[in-house]
Chains A and B, each alone.
Chain A
Amino acid sequence: MKQTPEYDKIQENMRKGVITLDGFLGDDTRKLVDIIAEDTFAIHTHHTTKEAIASRMEYFRKEGELGLGEPITVDGKFEVRVDSVRGLLPSPFGGPGMYAKVNTSVLNKTSGKSIVYTDLHIHFIKDHGFFEGKGSPFRLEPKDLIEILEVPRTEEE
């Protein structure tokens, strides 16, 4: 897929050491638009949308915050902790927002599987459909998010 110069610039910002030490692409050599397109396709195979995933992530972030830094049980089956470390991150996509390093950890007690994401991840997915490149230490697999957070289906089969 053809990539615009704007996305070339964004992809440059995502390289190691530009905004964060590890960058956001890992060892993924694909164009940013292709990374996003393939993950979008993966989401659709699970009959949901990036908006639905982000909405679920925001839900756990909001509910987990009520634990004031300690783990809290949400809906009887999720153990959620929202805590922070010092520092802020700007988005490589630009814009005015700075994102606090807030980690949301969600354990699905039924499956025993857990996932950790940040406020920057929520922005990536909600606004850009970006889950980070393959090999990035902080990449989120759409399939894992959908399963662990029990993201509802939004599309007809």
Chain B
Amino acid sequence: MVTTLLISIGIISLISVFLALLMVIADATIGNYGTVKISINDGTKELEVRGGQPLLKALNQEGVFIPSACGGRGSCGMCKVRVVQGGGEYLPTELPWINEEEKKNQVRLSCQFKVKTDVAIVIPEELFSVREYTTVVEKIRDLTHDIKEVTLLLKDPAKISPKAGQYVQFMVPEYELTDESVYRAYSIASPPGDSSRVELEIRLVPNGICTTYVHKHLKEGDTVTINGPYGDFYLRDTDRNIIFIAGGSGMAPIKSMLLDMEKQGNTRKAAYFFGARSKRDLFLLDEMRELEKKMPNFTFIPALSEPQPEDNWDGEVGLITDVVRRMTKDGSNSEAYLCGSPGMINACITVLNELGVLPENIFYDKFS
């Protein structure tokens, strides 16, 4: 009886070992696609990568960074690229993110699409200048009760060349809220002229993976990995008057644009409408007033929607859209730059249209 039992256990063990070996061999052979080629933008750049890996990862390893807010987990839908050759069928994990128009244009979710044969892809040219940077946290300071300013000193590479208004992706390492590293996007608040530093303004979002990390765990001296710059939210080179509208951490790209304007000696007429609820939500007022002195054609207009009695506020009161409507006579010769939530952007666009600002002259960084 015991002998039979032992023989049975032995046979089962042998079968298990055999199956495990079979899986290892299969992984090394069937799953081995060898080296495959990625041709980017009609051969502008040719890469040779290990086959079988997600396109996003293969590109990242070769120094081509595609924006992705979720770190390649297929949960943000940002990392779309056109795969014009070698694409094959869509995966079920891609389909929720791809609409019919994108299907016609062979758009794929690069974190899900695996490179198993030679492929040809099309990406925006500006992504060639995106790099990954190792940085050190030089300074953290509280701007308000829930917004921190984080200054990162670039180490490797030591310089970055963004346009004012663009954003970077901040890598959050594994910690109590995440089992693996993830990326989140933040606008650069520092001017492009300071190529050795990147300044970010980060508001605490309840349960937010990155914002909780920055507010509760990040310390001066810590190493942080970022990549970028990304985005087409930057100041257009025209002579039109400028209306900036942003509240909270939406100030970051506007501040970068204003500092750049000051450095470049840009004399365009500009007004920055900064909305907050009460005085405790306002920040960088001194810096903005200083800019007003340096830039005679610039006006800073902070407005409180619900000033508290202790605020002793004698400035503008009301929702920022109401203040813009009240203080702008004619927007027909203006262009507008907006940064904030989709709701805020939509409300502002309605008001700006009423004021005569042409839709093609309204630029925004919508957090969506």
- Given A68-B321, A70-B276, A21-B179 contact (CB < 8 Å): yes
For B341, give its contact among A19, A83, A88, A105 (CB under 8 Å): A83
Q: Is the CB of B367 within 8 A of A85?
A: yes
Partner-binding segment picked from B115-123, B329-337, B342-350 = B342-350
Tell me the residues in window 92-129 of chain A with beta carbons closer than 8 Å to chain B beta carbons.
94, 98, 100-103, 105, 116
With both beta carbons as reference points, the residue of chain A lying nearest to B182 in the complex is identified as A21
Q: Classify the interface of chain A: helix, strand, loop or mixed.
A: strand
> A94 vs B277: C-alpha distance in the bound complex, in angstroms?
38
Tell me if B165 counts as interface (CB < 8 A to partner A).
no
CA distance A131 to B206 in the complex (A): 18
A5 on the B face (CB < 8 A): no
Q: What residues of chain A lie closer than 8 Å to B73, measured between beta carbons?
A: 17, 20-21
Residues of A within 8 A of B367 (CB): 83-86, 101
Whether B77 contacts A87 by the Cβ 8 Å rule is: yes
The yes or no answer to A37 lying at the interface (CB within 8 A) is no
Contacts of B77 in A (CB 8 A): 87-88, 90, 98
- Is B319 within 8 A of A68, CB to CB? yes
Contact with A along B29-70 (1 / 0, CB 8 A): 000000000000000000000000000000000000000011
CA distance A72 to B344 in the complex (A): 13
A103 with B205: in contact, given A70-B247, A70-B276, A86-B185 (CB under 8 Å)? yes
Which residue of the partner chain A has the closest CB to B68? A87
Could you tell me the distance between the alpha carbons of A21 and B182 in the complex, rounded to whole angstroms? 9
Q: Does B195 contact A (CB under 8 A)?
A: no
Measured between alpha carbons, how far is A42 from B184 in the docked complex, in Å? 37
B21 within 8 Å of A (CB atoms):
no
Task: Give the residues from 165 to 180 in chain B that come closer than 8 angstroms, CB to CB, to chain A.
Answer: 177-180
Contact status A73-B368, CB under 8 Å? no
CB proximity of B354 to chain A, nearest CB, Å: 16
Looking at the assembled complex, report how far the CB atom of B221 sits from the nearest CB atom of chain A, in whole angstroms: 27
Say yes or no: is B74 at the interface (Cβ < 8 Å to chain A).
yes
Count of chain A to chain B residue pairs whose CB atoms are closer than 8 Å in the complex: 112
B111 within 8 A of partner (CB): no
Docked pose: A17 CA to B78 CA in angstroms = 16
Is B340's CB under 8 angstroms from A68's CB?
A: yes
Q: Across the interface, which residues of B come within 8 angstroms of A69, CB to CB?
A: 247-248, 250, 275, 340-341, 343-344
| B253 CB to nearest A CB, Å | 13
- A66 contacts B76, CB within 8 Å? no
Which residues of chain B come closer than 8 Å to A90, judged between CB atoms?
77, 96-97
With A20-B75, A70-B305 in contact, do A100 and B342 touch (Cβ < 8 Å)? yes
Residues of A contacting B178 with CB < 8 Å? Answer: 21
Q: Which of under 10, 10 to 19, 20 to 34, or 35 or more describes the interface residues of A?
A: 20 to 34
Bound-state CA distance A83–B281 (Å) is 14
Structural contact, A89 and B75, CB atoms closer than 8 A? yes
Residues of B within 8 A of A138 (CB): 207
Docked pose: A43 CA to B334 CA in angstroms: 53
A68 near B179 (CB under 8 angstroms)? Answer: no
Is A133 interfacial (CB 8 A cutoff)?
no
Q: Which of B75, B179, B305 has the most CB atoms of chain A within a 10 A radius of its CB?
A: B75
Q: Does A141 contact B (CB under 8 A)?
A: no
Task: List the A residue with the shortest CB-CB distance to B304.
Answer: A70
Q: How far is it, in angstroms, between the C-alpha of A100 and the C-alpha of B343 when the chains are bound?
A: 11
B320 within 8 A of A: yes
The smallest beta-carbon distance between B278 and chain A, in angstroms, is 9
State whether the Cβ of B359 lies closer than 8 Å to any Cβ in chain A.
Answer: no
Chain A residues, Cβ within 8 Å of B281: 70
Name the distance in Å between A75's Cβ and chain B's nearest Cβ.
14
Whole-angstrom distance from the CB of A69 to the nearest CB of chain B? 5
**Does A152 lie at the interface of the complex (its beta carbon under 8 Å from any beta carbon of B)?**
no
Least CB distance from B173 to A in Å reads: 14
Docked complex: B218-262 residues within 8 A CB-CB of A: 247-248, 250
- A18–B91 Cα distance when bound, in Å, is 13
Interface residue? B142 (CB, 8 A): no
Shortest distance from the beta carbon of B69 to any chain A beta carbon, whole Å:
5
Bound-state Cα–Cα, A21 to B319, Å:
36
9 A-B pairs with least C-beta separation: A90-B96, A84-B341, A68-B344, A65-B343, A70-B277, A84-B367, A87-B76, A116-B206, A100-B368
Q: Which residues of A contact B (CB under 8 A)?
A: 17-21, 65-73, 82-90, 94, 98, 100-103, 105, 116, 137-138
Could you pull out 20 A-B pairs where Cβ atoms are within 8 angstroms? A21-B75, A67-B305, A68-B340, A68-B344, A69-B343, A70-B247, A70-B305, A82-B341, A87-B70, A87-B77, A87-B78, A88-B76, A88-B77, A90-B96, A98-B97, A101-B367, A102-B341, A102-B342, A103-B206, A116-B206
